[in-house]
Amino acid sequence: MARPTDRAAAGGDSPAAAPDPATLTYEQARDELVTVVDRLETGAATLEESLALWERGEALAARCQEWLDGARERLAAARGQGRDVDGDAS
């Protein structure tokens, strides 16, 4: 049985129309995730569509987390640049 995995998440477009989450910016992934959650919360999707939306949402949430983790690491590195070996500000 065919699964509408990406079609449901992309608003009914073909599976190829939904971009790979790995290529999305944080804002793009977050905005699409909000749309996916809204669609799931309406309860109007079929079971298959709901499963596809859930899977897409999980992938989008993971992408957002990757971006947030990277930002956290960059902030930590930037903070560390202004300190000497003893942890005192230089």
Kindly state the helix (H) or strand (E) to which residue 5 belongs, with its residue range. helix 5-9
Residue 1 has pLDDT above 90, yes or no: no
pTM: 0.71
**Higher-scoring residue by pLDDT: 86, 52:** 52
Q: What angle do CA 32, 38, 44 make, to 5 degrees?
A: 125
**Higher-scoring residue by pLDDT: 82, 36:** 36
Each residue's pLDDT tens digit, 55-77:
999 999 999 999 999 999 999 99
Closest CA to 67 of 19, 21, 17: 21
Q: How far apart are CA 68 and CA 38, in angstroms?
A: 22
Q: How far apart are CA 51 and CA 41, in angstroms?
A: 13
Each residue's pLDDT tens digit, 6-27:
444 445 543 447 899 999 999 9
Q: Which residues pair with 83 in a beta bridge?
A: 89
| CATH class of the domain comprising 25-81 | mainly alpha
